[in-house]
């Protein structure tokens, strides 16, 4: 698993985002280079939700930051609406930023505690000098209403007066103020209660339709991702294992790692008779990844081939792709 | 029949600037030897306060505790600090969500582990060192002899949680409270840790209370489940019965709001609108009424008591699901 390749790219010409062979490296304290993202390619079409799932340390958040040009890139390209962001100078890059916005896992700490809600949501509009004061204030009211908050009640209050779910609504409103094309959501619901989680996921769906957004959704939670995505990318140790439609992924995962992930998800039903394929051990260190397929050290189907040759992503039919020498039937 | 652990009408309140915050409001729950109970609820439902008060923690000046918590007939709430400390580890133990903050960051695993064995069981240092390796092996940590030389930050979250579990079972407690034991872990590691806890419970015949927000975690794992809302138990039943014959609309709504891998993909998730009740206010109505699809006038004017459906299935609702 954990292979390279671009078989899954659709070359439709109308991608909002296209990432080619993206490599992101960090230097460890010993001076060693750690590849957090090792040659990832992906594309997102207009109005599509693409999710990236994987465990802690697989590089999914680094991938999100790399796409937004928030961390330095070692090689590869990131094209937003056809413009390669990695080639832009700092001023051009700044001009491109309103098109891509982000919401974070910890919504409370991503809001300035000293600002009132209306100032928080208005801030991007002010920075970019959009509209008159009256127009901006109208826009703020519209945004707050669209995420299910009553402007008359919340506008004058500060973030500390709100719960985690409400703060996430505020950060969604702020992210949408500049009418971005791409919204990157990094674990937006993982610190919320399930009842609130459902509210936020529904709002994201509504906003996607309403503003014609494309979503890049980063999460460790397969059940959440399955509920809202058009396409899912599974990552392991900086590489892609599998790209598939949500139902195909949960019903018949092709990659052995995806299979282990799917069968580890606890099912809220005591009568469920699911055989769990519990993975042993933990992912190896990214400073010294295994040769060939990066999953082979924990894979039940690994052979010698997996140690010598890195599997490439290949189509398994129906628009599903897997990077594995011995995929599951 | 006498129970290992009896919680009777336990109420816990904190003095705050906003007034008296009633975190736990009159909870009764019996736990038998070797039994596994899930306590499920959202943030602020009082599940963590319940488990900490049951441990005999929360002993500060600004906390008021009423009711009774008995371990083998011994009242825990009135014990002195040193008396309750005698019970910790040997009778009753606890593991927490965040093992990083529960371990001492500046001491190696081996030395902080052996300390509890020396202090609690009076072992010699050599015996304690040997026993430490045994226990770390019992929780399936690979290469225990390497683990004991490490500091907590050098271990992964899953390994740290295994160390905590090994410490908790070191003195063979009769009852283990596990407060969100897998919430901070990846799903594959969560599955490993849940399997480990289930095996240990059987081999040590230890009763276990798992406190969690995740119905999926407790479904395959517990004998009974208590659902908490606004500081109260709103439903208590055997795990099978809770899922098959859900009575409380809140439990039903909670189940509906979970995105599931084993169900068909719907267009929208069933969110529960609104927010939980204010914990500083007295309850004069059903706490869930403002968010309940089935609420009627009675729910807004009267506080429902726990009702027994006949088979020990308790629920707190005037208009339970599935009853005409």
Touching check for B265 and chain A: CB below 8 Å? yes
Confidence of residue B310 (pLDDT cuts 50, 70, 90): confident
pLDDT of A28 reads: 81
Touching check for A282 and chain B: CB below 8 Å? yes
Touching check for A207 and chain B: CB below 8 Å? no
A45 DSSP β-pair partners: A15
pLDDT of A284 reads: 85
Select from B187, B255, B272 the Cβ nearest to the Cβ of A220.
B187
Query: To the nearest whole number, what is the mean pLDDT of chain B?
Result: 92
Distance CA(A246)–CA(A45), nearest Å, equals: 16
Residue in A54, A164, A266 to test binding to B, most B beta-carbons within 10 Å = A266
Distance CA(A60)–CA(A234), nearest Å, equals: 9
CB contact under 8 A, B195 and A278: yes
CB contact under 8 A, A268 and B258: yes
| Contacts with A247 from chain B: Cβ below 8 Å | 265
CB contact under 8 A, A195 and B43: no
pTM surpassing 0.90?
no
Percentage of chain A exceeding pLDDT 90: 76
Cβ neighbours of residue A320 under 8 Å, at least 6 residues apart? A242, A243, A244, A245, A248, A249, A254
Looking at residues B209-224, what average pLDDT do you find? 92
| Residue that wins the pLDDT comparison between B263 and B105 | B105
Chain B residue nearest residue A249, CA to CA: B261
| Contacts with A281 from chain B: Cβ below 8 Å | 142
Query: To the nearest whole number, what is the mean pLDDT of chain A?
Result: 92
pLDDT of A2 reads: 46
Closest Cα of chain B to A267: distance in Å? 5
Looking at residues B11-35, what average pLDDT do you find? 94
| Contacts with A256 from chain B: Cβ below 8 Å | none
CB contacts < 8 A, A to B, total: 127
pLDDT reading at B247 higher than 80 = yes
Looking at residues A293-315, what average pLDDT do you find? 94
User: Is-contact B109 B170, C-beta < 8 A?
Assistant: no
A243 DSSP β-pair partners: A233, A321
Confidence of residue A274 (pLDDT cuts 50, 70, 90): low
| Contacts with B194 from chain A: Cβ below 8 Å | 266
pLDDT of A4 reads: 67
pLDDT reading at B323 higher than 80 = no
Percentage of chain B exceeding pLDDT 90: 74
CB contact under 8 A, A262 and B243: no
Q: Note the residue count of chain B.
A: 324
Distance CA(A146)–CA(B248), nearest Å, equals: 31
What's the CATH architecture for B5-261? Answer: 3-Layer(aba) Sandwich (3.40)
SS3 A139: helix
Distance CA(B37)–CA(B54), nearest Å, equals: 14
Chain A residue nearest residue B45, CA to CA: A193
pLDDT reading at A1 higher than 50 = no
Q: Note the residue count of chain A.
A: 329
Distances (CA, A) of B244 to B219, B306, B313: 12, 19, 12
Domain ranges in chain B are: 5-261
Percentage of chain B exceeding pLDDT 70: 99
pLDDT reading at A321 higher than 60 = yes
pLDDT tens, residue by residue, A227-236: 999 999 999 9
pLDDT tens, residue by residue, B99-123: 888 899 999 999 999 988 998 889 9
pLDDT tens, residue by residue, B146-164: 999 999 999 988 899 999 9
CB contact under 8 A, A260 and B194: no
pLDDT reading at B274 higher than 90 = no
Confidence of residue B276 (pLDDT cuts 50, 70, 90): confident
SS3 A50: strand
pLDDT of B69 reads: 95
Touching check for B195 and chain A: CB below 8 Å? yes
Touching check for A106 and chain B: CB below 8 Å? no
DSSP letters for B37-78? EEEE--TTSSHHHHHHHHTT---STTEEEEEEEEETTEESTT
Residue in A51, A153, A194, A208 to test binding to B, most B beta-carbons within 10 Å = A194
Distance CA(B129)–CA(B75), nearest Å, equals: 34
B234-248, B270-284, B302-316 — which is least confidently predicted? B270-284
Touching check for A267 and chain B: CB below 8 Å? yes
Confidence of residue B197 (pLDDT cuts 50, 70, 90): very high
The two tokens of residue A55 are 């465990």
CB contact under 8 A, A279 and B188: yes
Chain A residue nearest residue B43, CA to CA: A193
CB contact under 8 A, B259 and A268: no
Quote helix, strand, coil % in chain B, to nearest 5.
35, 25, 45
Closest Cα of chain B to A242: distance in Å? 17
CB contact under 8 A, B43 and A193: yes
A77-86, B84-93, B258-267 — which is least confidently predicted? B258-267
Confidence of residue A275 (pLDDT cuts 50, 70, 90): low
pLDDT reading at B82 higher than 60 = yes
- For B205, counting Cβ atoms within 10 Å of its Cβ (0-12 exposed, 13-18 middle, 19+ buried), the class is exposed
Closest CA to A256 of A285, A280, A238: A280
Phi, psi for residue A199 in degrees, rounded to 5:
-60, -45
pLDDT of A99 reads: 96
Strand pairing report for B36-40 and B207-212: parallel
Looking at residues B227-250, what average pLDDT do you find? 96
A36-40, A67-71, A106-110, B248-252 — which is least confidently predicted? A106-110
Helix B157-168 to helix B187-204 angle (10° resolution) is 10
- For A222, counting Cβ atoms within 10 Å of its Cβ (0-12 exposed, 13-18 middle, 19+ buried), the class is buried
User: Is-contact A191 A164, C-beta < 8 A?
Assistant: yes
Q: Is the dihedral of CA A302, A305, A307, A309 positive or negative?
A: negative
Distances (CA, A) of A285 to A34, A169, A237, B51: 9, 36, 8, 37
Type and span of the H or E element at A249: helix A246-251
Select from A164, A220, A224 the Cβ nearest to the Cβ of B259.
A224
Distances (CA, A) of B294 to B176, B178, B305: 37, 34, 17
The two tokens of residue B278 are 């204010």
Confidence of residue A30 (pLDDT cuts 50, 70, 90): confident
Touching check for B105 and chain A: CB below 8 Å? no
User: Is-contact A293 A299, C-beta < 8 A?
Assistant: yes
User: Is-contact B75 B68, C-beta < 8 A?
Assistant: yes
Closest Cα of chain B to A194: distance in Å? 6
Looking at residues A139-165, what average pLDDT do you find? 93
pLDDT of B287 reads: 94
Query: ipTM for the complex?
Result: 0.81
pLDDT tens, residue by residue, A49-97: 999 999 888 999 999 999 999 999 999 999 999 999 999 999 999 999 9
| Residue that wins the pLDDT comparison between B323 and B148 | B148
- What is the set of domains in chain A, with CATH numbers? 1-81+184-189+212-267+274-329 (3.40.50.300)
Distances (CA, A) of B45 to B23, B213, B287: 7, 10, 11
- For A23, counting Cβ atoms within 10 Å of its Cβ (0-12 exposed, 13-18 middle, 19+ buried), the class is middle
Angle at A19 between CA A18 and CA A23, to 5 degrees: 175
Distance CA(B121)–CA(B135), nearest Å, equals: 14
CB contact under 8 A, A266 and B220: yes
């Amino acid at each position: 698993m954990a292979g390279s390749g671009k078989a899954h790219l659709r070359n439709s010409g109308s991608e909002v985002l296209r990432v080619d062979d993206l490599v992101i490296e960090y230097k460890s304290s010993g001076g060693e280079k750690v590849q957090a993202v090792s040659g990832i390619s992906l594309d997102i079409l207009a109005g599509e939700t693409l999710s990236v799932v994987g465990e802690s340390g697989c590089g999914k958040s680094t991938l999100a930051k790399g796409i937004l040009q928030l961390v330095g890139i070692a090689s590869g390209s990131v094209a937003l609406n056809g413009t390669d962001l990695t080639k832009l100078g700092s001023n051009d890059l700044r001009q491109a930023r309103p098109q891509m916005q982000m919401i974070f896992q910890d919504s409370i700490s991503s809001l300035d505690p000293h600002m009132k809600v209306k100032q928080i949501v208005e801030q991007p509009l002010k920075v970019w000098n959009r509209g008159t004061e009256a127009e901006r204030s109208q826009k703020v009211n519209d945004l707050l209403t669209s995420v299910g908050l009553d402007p008359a009640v919340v506008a004058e209050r500060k973030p500390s007066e709100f719960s985690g779910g409400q703060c996430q609504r505020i950060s969604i409103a702020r992210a949408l103020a500049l009418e971005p094309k791409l919204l990157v959501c990094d674990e937006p619901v993982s610190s919320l209660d399930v009842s609130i989680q459902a509210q936020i996921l529904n709002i994201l769906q509504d906003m996607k339709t309403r503003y014609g957004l494309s979503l890049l959704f980063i999460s460790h939670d397969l059940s959440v991702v399955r509920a809202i995505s058009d396409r899912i990318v599974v990552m392991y140790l900086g590489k892609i294992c599998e790209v598939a439609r949500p139902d195909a992924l949960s019903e018949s995962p092709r990659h052995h790692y995806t299979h282990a992930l799917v069968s580890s998800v606890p099912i809220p039903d005591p009568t469920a008779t699911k055989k769990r394929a519990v993975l042993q051990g933990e992912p190896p260190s990214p400073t010294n990844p295994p040769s060939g397929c990066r999953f082979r050290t924990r894979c039940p189907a690994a052979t010698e081939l997996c140690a010598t040759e890195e599997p490439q992503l290949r189509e398994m039919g129906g628009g599903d792709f897997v990077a594995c020498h011995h995929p599951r039937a | 029949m006498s129970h290992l652990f009896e919680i009777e009408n336990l109420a816990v309140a904190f003095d705050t600037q906003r007034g008296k915050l009633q975190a736990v409001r009159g909870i009764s729950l019996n736990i038998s030897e070797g039994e596994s109970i899930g306590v499920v609820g959202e943030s602020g439902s009082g599940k963590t306060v319940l488990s900490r008060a049951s441990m005999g923690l929360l002993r500060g000046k600004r906390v008021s505790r009423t009711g009774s918590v008995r371990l083998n007939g011994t009242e825990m709430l009135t014990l002195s600090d040193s008396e309750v400390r005698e019970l910790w580890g040997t009778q009753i133990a606890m593991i927490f969500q965040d093992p990083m903050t529960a371990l001492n960051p500046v001491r190696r695993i081996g030395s902080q582990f052996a300390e509890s064995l020396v202090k609690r069981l009076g072992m010699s240092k050599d015996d304690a060192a040997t026993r430490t390796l045994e226990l770390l092996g019992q929780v399936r940590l690979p290469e225990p002899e390497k683990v004991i030389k490490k500091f907590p930050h050098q271990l992964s979250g899953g390994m740290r949680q295994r160390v905590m579990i090994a410490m908790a079972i070191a003195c063979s407690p009769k009852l283990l409270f596990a407060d969100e034991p897998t919430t901070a872990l990846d799903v594959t590691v969560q599955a490993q840790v849940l399997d480990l806890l289930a095996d240990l419970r059987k081999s040590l015949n230890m009763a276990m209370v798992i406190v969690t927000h995740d119905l999926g975690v407790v479904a395959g794992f517990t004998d009974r489940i208590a659902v908490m809302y606004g500081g109260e138990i709103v439903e208590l039943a055997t795990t099978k019965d809770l899922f098959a014959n859900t009575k409380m609309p809140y439990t039903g709504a909670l189940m509906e709001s979970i995105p599931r891998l084993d169900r068909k993909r719907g267009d929208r998730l069933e969110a529960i609108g609104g927010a939980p009740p204010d914990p500083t206010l007295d309850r004069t109505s059903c706490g869930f009424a403002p968010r309940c699809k089935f609420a009627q006038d009675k729910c807004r004017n009267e506080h429902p008591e726990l009702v027994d459906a006949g088979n020990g299935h308790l629920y707190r609702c005037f208009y339970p699901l599935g009853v005409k």
